[in-house]
């Protein structure tokens, strides 16, 4: 697997320059900003941090062009997304009650062995709901791929060839954040894992989320709703072991030990890692060879160096 | 009220000051410099005034309590106080009435720097235990700033040019499509509720969708906002169509909203009733939804058209939007009217969210409810975007 560097959010505290310096890529850096949607091409600042070596792959614009040229695929894609939205609503309905029960029992698990066992069972129930949801989503994607063979379609192949030309002098990739589902769909459509070919990847925010094994949406304090984290779908698995939480300080209640504990147990064995401004995690060969220095949400309910327990 | 102790028996600060008899001027100086005025201790709030006067009164805007509360003068001093109970999470606006030489003057509390401004001037503000100014109302240097621009719309309904202030979200692009929110008393919302800061912050946090907001200002407010045909025609047949041809708006009911407070709430509701297929979202704050079940109403002739409109709507409520957010302060005289309109709106099948707060009929109450209202009516991509 390839080398991956996960970074904290870059907008207010960019660390890209240092990372690029440390990776010393010989060629240019392919930039994917599809998550920025209409703002995809506005990469001047990013390019500066990369020493003027950025090549924008413009996957958002390319996907738009594909859908315009291949209306059949566009309709099928829209229908798939509609089905995914529907399933997501139902999943959230199940999740709402299961998470409330798990949090309540985990909060009380010091009371007795009996309550602790029920707490474990309640967390397992949440994990089961996640897993069932991910299976359903994977089935929908598999059926879509089998029926429509998106990568075999002329419009996609044409864009893919153009991308390949851009990649000839590229020795690293940078995947920015933005809209996580749109980014994931574009990367999947153009087969990003195949594109990499052992070249290092730098990713942050939504970019970091989609390249892992599982994409989890989260916000503990939304203005509406309970703020239950949800598994969106499987990621591209360019790296393993780690589940990143960008903007964790802002989006998670890290001082609530019950929420932290539930989160860590729910997603284990993946390591729940906050990715705040200035953070950097190196995944040599796409996995966490040594957790030393990596802070993670612990089953004890706090943030501590990975492996401390 | 006993100045020495609260109901729980804890000694209040003013009680401690009086414990050893009348305090000296130096004691009073020390006392005032040591405390934030008014002194909030649990649910007890001690208001203070220092100066020569014949009488001092607290003039607060809490409907439900006598609006005048006389201060007590501490013998042999020029220090006056009054203690009232304020429930937790309350926010109270008030003035002091100082009577000297037979004349009374309403003044802002000279010992309290907290102020809330409104079109009539300013009031002093008391934050009860638990109340905090929401951090999303404070300018955030990280939030990208939207822009304001002035446009003029020729109105046949009003036979005049109407100025409208347009809010365009940060990173506005003509290639995108945006929802539209039309705000009554828009400039007052900007001025007294910090609406631009609120929009910038909530959009930056992805809690509210990128919105285009039209901030309208009436010329004769009490006339135009009281179920006025010309006003509704201006908004729906002149303003919105012009905006939809000029700006990249989605142009569908689910992406159009009306918002207003007090009489502006009536204007929003009555406009939507007159054009029932046009708006999918309503944000009604402390609406002046006066009505009568029988007999005349006591609110004066300016309310006549409002009462007539509300009585008609209550008699035959119709579905006029998909989602309606209603808020009201529990210290407002309009709390009864607002509470009672909720089931009527719901009876038409509309999705209604109703929120109360321990506050009065004022712009900061309306400001404090905007996050909940706007994020419900125009939810942002919070769950999907990780920048």
Tell me, yes or no, whether A206 lies in a domain: yes
Q: Taking 80 as the threshold, does the pLDDT of residue B6 lie above it?
A: no
Tell me, yes or no, whether B8 lies in a domain: no
Query: Residues, chain B, total?
Result: 387
Decide if A217 and B383 are in contact by the 8 Å CB cutoff: yes
The whole-number average pLDDT for the span A108-129 is 96
Chain A partners within 8 Å of B171 (Cβ): 39
* Chain B interface residues (partner A, CB cutoff 8 A): 142, 171, 173, 175-176, 202, 207, 371-372, 375-376, 379, 381-387
CA–CA dist A131, A95 (Å, integer): 12
Residues B159 and B120 in one domain: no
Nearest to A26 by CA among A200, A282, A193: A200
Per-residue model confidence as pLDDT tens digits over B88-104: 999 999 999 999 999 99
Decide if B386 and A181 are in contact by the 8 Å CB cutoff: no
Q: Identify the band that residue B378 occupies on the pLDDT scale cut at 50, 70 and 90.
A: very high
Chain A partners within 8 Å of B375 (Cβ): 222-224
Tell me, yes or no, whether A95 lies in a domain: no
Tell me, yes or no, whether A190 lies in a domain: yes
- Rounded to the nearest 10°, the torsion over CA A220, A223, A228, A230 is -100
Of residues B371, B382, B387, nearest to A9 (C-beta): B387
Residues B373 and B313 in one domain: yes
The whole-number average pLDDT for the span B268-275 is 98
Distance of CA B56 to the CA centre of its chain: 28
Tell me, yes or no, whether A128 lies in a domain: no
CATH code of the domain in which B93 resides: 2.60.40.10
Chain B partners within 8 Å of A46 (Cβ): none
Least reliable range by pLDDT among A113-117, A226-230, B62-66: B62-66
Tell me, yes or no, whether B359 lies in a domain: yes
Q: Give the residue from B127, B151, B180 where a domain finishes.
A: B127
Q: Taking 70 as the threshold, does the pLDDT of residue B10 lie above it?
A: no
Q: Taking 80 as the threshold, does the pLDDT of residue B130 lie above it?
A: yes
Quote the pLDDT of residue B55. 97
Residues B304 and B213 in one domain: yes
Quote the pLDDT of residue B4. 55
Give exposure, B230-242, as e/b (b: 16+ Cβ within 10 Å).
ebbbbbbebbbeb
Tell me, yes or no, whether B66 lies in a domain: yes
Q: Taking 60 as the threshold, does the pLDDT of residue A247 lie above it?
A: yes
Decide if B171 and A11 are in contact by the 8 Å CB cutoff: no
CATH code of the domain in which A280 resides: 3.40.50.880
CA–CA dist A95, A126 (Å, integer): 7
Using CB atoms within 10 Å of the CB of residue A95, give its burial: 0 to 12 exposed, 13 to 18 middle, 19+ buried. Answer: buried
**DSSP element (H, E) containing B98:** strand B91-100
Chain B partners within 8 Å of A177 (Cβ): 385-387
Tell me, yes or no, whether A201 lies in a domain: yes
Strand pairing report for A170-175 and A28-32? parallel
CA–CA dist B323, B219 (Å, integer): 29
Q: B6: which residues sit within 8 A by CB, 6+ positions away?
A: B12, B41, B42, B43, B44
Q: Identify the band that residue A56 occupies on the pLDDT scale cut at 50, 70 and 90.
A: very high
Per-residue model confidence as pLDDT tens digits over B283-325: 999 999 999 999 999 999 999 999 999 999 999 999 999 999 9
Q: Identify the band that residue A293 occupies on the pLDDT scale cut at 50, 70 and 90.
A: confident
Percent of chain B with pLDDT over 70: 97
Q: Identify the band that residue A289 occupies on the pLDDT scale cut at 50, 70 and 90.
A: confident
HSE-CB at B41 with a 13 A cutoff on CA atoms is 20
Residues B258 and B356 in one domain: yes
Q: What is the number of domains present in chain B? A: 2
Residues B190 and B312 in one domain: yes
Determine the structural domain holding residue B116 and report its residue range: 13-127
Decide if A219 and B142 are in contact by the 8 Å CB cutoff: no
Phi, then psi, of B69 in degrees rounded to 5: -125, 115
Contact B111, B32 (CB under 8 A): yes
Q: Taking 50 as the threshold, does the pLDDT of residue B381 lie above it?
A: yes
Chain A partners within 8 Å of B376 (Cβ): 223-224
Q: Taking 90 as the threshold, does the pLDDT of residue A140 lie above it?
A: yes
Nearest to A295 by CA among A283, A285, A279: A279
Tell me, yes or no, whether B248 lies in a domain: yes
The chain-wide mean pLDDT, for chain A, equals: 96
* Predicted ipTM of the assembly: 0.96
Per-residue model confidence as pLDDT tens digits over B178-218: 999 999 999 999 999 999 999 999 999 999 999 999 999 99
Residues B181 and B208 in one domain: yes
Determine the structural domain holding residue A65 and report its residue range: 4-69+150-305
Q: How many CB pairs under 8 A join A and B?
A: 52
Residue A41 contacts B where some CB pair is shorter than 8 Å: no
Decide if A179 and B385 are in contact by the 8 Å CB cutoff: yes
Instruction: Sheet containing A28-32: give its strands across.
Output: A54-56, A28-32, A170-175, A201-204, A4-7, A280-283
Tell me, yes or no, whether B165 lies in a domain: yes
Tell me, yes or no, whether A106 lies in a domain: no
Contact B86, B126 (CB under 8 A): yes
Contact B83, B44 (CB under 8 A): yes
Quote the pLDDT of residue A308. 61
Per-residue model confidence as pLDDT tens digits over A156-187: 999 999 999 999 999 999 999 999 999 999 99
Per-residue model confidence as pLDDT tens digits over B250-261: 999 999 999 999
Q: Identify the band that residue A291 occupies on the pLDDT scale cut at 50, 70 and 90.
A: confident
Residues B191 and B298 in one domain: yes
Residues B173 and B95 in one domain: no
Per-residue model confidence as pLDDT tens digits over B323-375: 999 999 999 999 999 999 999 999 999 999 999 999 999 999 999 999 999 99
Decide if A206 and B173 are in contact by the 8 Å CB cutoff: no
Number of other residues whose CB lies within 10 A of the CB of residue B12: 22
Q: What is the number of domains present in chain A? A: 1
Phi, then psi, of B121 in degrees rounded to 5: 135, -120
CA–CA dist A242, A222 (Å, integer): 24
CATH code of the domain in which B231 resides: 3.40.50.1820
Q: Taking 60 as the threshold, does the pLDDT of residue B8 lie above it?
A: no
CA–CA dist A64, B278 (Å, integer): 31
DSSP state of B370: H
Q: Give the residue from B62, B93, B127 where a domain finishes.
A: B127
* Placement of tokens 């829209």 in the chain: A78
Tell me, yes or no, whether A57 lies in a domain: yes
Quote the pLDDT of residue A1. 73
CA–CA dist B369, A200 (Å, integer): 47
Using CB atoms within 10 Å of the CB of residue B89, give its burial: 0 to 12 exposed, 13 to 18 middle, 19+ buried. Answer: middle
Q: B334: which residues sit within 8 A by CB, 6+ positions away?
A: B262, B286, B287, B288, B289, B290, B328, B361
Residues B107 and B215 in one domain: no
CA–CA dist A266, A246 (Å, integer): 18
Residue A89 contacts B where some CB pair is shorter than 8 Å: no
Q: Give the residue from B63, B96, B127 where a domain finishes.
A: B127
DSSP state of B5: B
Instruction: Sheet containing B39-41: give its strands across.
Output: B39-41, B44-50, B79-85, B72-73
Tell me, yes or no, whether B36 lies in a domain: yes
**H runs (alpha helix) in B193-303:** 195-204, 221-224, 229-233, 240-246, 263-274
Tell me, yes or no, whether B168 lies in a domain: yes
Residue A165 contacts B where some CB pair is shorter than 8 Å: no
Tell me, yes or no, whether B1 lies in a domain: no
Of residues A12, A209, A230, nearest to B386 (C-beta): A209
Nearest to B239 by CA among B256, B223, B262, B222: B256
* Substitution target from A81, A223, A249, A251 for chain B, most B beta carbons within 10 A: A223
CA–CA dist B276, B258 (Å, integer): 12
Decide if B386 and A246 are in contact by the 8 Å CB cutoff: yes
Task: Tell which wins on pLDDT, B263 or A305.
Answer: B263
Q: Taking 50 as the threshold, does the pLDDT of residue B2 lie above it?
A: no
For B348, the token pair is 């038409």
Q: Taking 80 as the threshold, does the pLDDT of residue A17 lie above it?
A: yes
Residues B91 and B224 in one domain: no
Phi, then psi, of B149 in degrees rounded to 5: -140, 145
SS3 call for A191: coil
Of residues B171, B372, B384, nearest to A39 (C-beta): B171
Quote the pLDDT of residue A306. 83
Residues B275 and B349 in one domain: yes
Tell me, yes or no, whether A36 lies in a domain: yes
* Cis, peptide link before residue A104, omega less than 30° from 0: no
């Amino acid at each position: 697997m390839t080398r991956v560097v996960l970074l904290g959010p870059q907008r207010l505290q960019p660390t890209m320059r240092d990372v690029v310096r440390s990776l010393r890529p010989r060629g240019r850096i392919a930039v994917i900003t599809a998550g920025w949607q209409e703002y995809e091409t506005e990469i001047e600042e990013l390019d500066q941090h990369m020493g003027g070596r950025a090549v924008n792959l413009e996957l958002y614009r390319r996907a738009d062009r594909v859908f315009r040229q291949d209306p059949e695929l566009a309709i099928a894609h829209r229908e798939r997304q509609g089905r995914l939205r529907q399933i997501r609503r139902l999943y959230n309905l199940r999740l709402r009650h299961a998470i409330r029960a798990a949090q309540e029992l985990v909060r009380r698990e010091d009371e007795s062995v009996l309550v602790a066992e029920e707490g474990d069972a309640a967390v397992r129930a949440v994990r089961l709901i996640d897993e069932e949801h991910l299976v359903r989503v994977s089935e929908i994607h598999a059926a879509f791929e089998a029926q429509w063979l998106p990568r075999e379609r002329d419009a996609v192949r044409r864009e893919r060839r153009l991308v390949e030309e851009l990649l000839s002098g590229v020795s690293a990739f940078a995947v920015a954040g933005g809209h996580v589902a749109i980014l994931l769909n574009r990367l999947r459509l153009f087969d990003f894992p195949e594109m990499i070919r052992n070249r290092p990847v730098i990713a942050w925010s939504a970019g970091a989320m989609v390249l892992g094994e599982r994409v989890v949406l989260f916000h503990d304090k939304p203005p509406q709703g309970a703020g239950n984290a949800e598994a969106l779908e499987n990621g591209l698995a360019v790296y393993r072991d780690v589940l990143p939480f960008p903007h964790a300080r802002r989006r998670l209640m890290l001082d609530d030990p019950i929420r932290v504990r539930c989160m860590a147990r729910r997603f284990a064995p993946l390591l729940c890692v906050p990715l705040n401004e200035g953070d950097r995690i190196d995944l040599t060969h796409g996995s966490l060879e040594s957790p030393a220095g990596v802070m993670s949400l612990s089953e004890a309910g706090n943030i501590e160096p990975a492996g401390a327990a | 009220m006993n100045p020495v102790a609260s109901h729980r028996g804890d000694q209040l600060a003013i009680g401690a000051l009086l414990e050893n008899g009348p305090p000296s001027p130096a004691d009073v100086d020390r006392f005032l410099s040591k405390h934030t005025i008014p002194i909030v201790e649990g649910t007890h709030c001690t208001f203070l005034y220092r100066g020569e006067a014949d009488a001092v009164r607290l003039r607060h805007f809490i409907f439900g309590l006598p609006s005048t509360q006389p201060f007590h003068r501490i013998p042999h001093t020029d220090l006056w106080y009054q203690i009232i109970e304020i429930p937790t999470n309350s926010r109270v606006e008030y003035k002091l009435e100082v009577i000297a030489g037979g004349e009374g003057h309403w003044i802002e509390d000279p010992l309290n720097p907290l102020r809330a401004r409104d079109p009539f001037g300013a009031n002093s503000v008391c934050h009860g235990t638990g109340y905090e100014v929401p951090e999303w109302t404070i300018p955030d240097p990280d939030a990208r700033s939207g822009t304001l621009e002035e446009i003029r719309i020729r109105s046949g309904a009003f036979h005049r040019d109407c100025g409208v202030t347009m809010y365009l979200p940060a990173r506005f692009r003509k290639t995108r499509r945006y929802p539209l929110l039309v705000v009554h008393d828009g400039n007052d919302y900007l001025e007294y509720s910090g609406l631009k800061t609120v929009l910038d912050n909530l959009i930056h946090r992805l809690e509210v969708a990128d919105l285009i907001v039209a901030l309208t200002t009436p010329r004769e407010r009490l006339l135009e906002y009281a179920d006025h045909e010309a006003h509704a025609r201006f908004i729906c047949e002149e303003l919105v169509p012009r905006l939809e041809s000029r700006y990249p708006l989605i142009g569908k009911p689910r992406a159009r909203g009306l918002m207003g407070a007090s009489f502006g709430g009536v204007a929003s509701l009555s406009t939507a009733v007159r054009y029932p297929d046009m708006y999918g979202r309503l944000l009604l704050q402390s609406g002046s939804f006066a009505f009568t079940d029988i007999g005349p109403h006591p609110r004066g002739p300016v309310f006549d058209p409002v009462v007539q409109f509300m009585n008609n709507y209550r008699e035959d409520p119709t579905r006029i939007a998909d989602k309606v957010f209603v808020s009201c302060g529990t210290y407002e005289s309009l709390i009864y009217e607002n509470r009672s309109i909720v089931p009527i709106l719901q009876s038409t099948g509309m999705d209604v969210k109703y929120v109360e707060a321990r506050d009065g009929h004022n712009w900061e109450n309306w400001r404090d409810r905007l996050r909940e209202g706007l994020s419900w009516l125009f939810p942002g991509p919070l769950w999907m975007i990780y920048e």
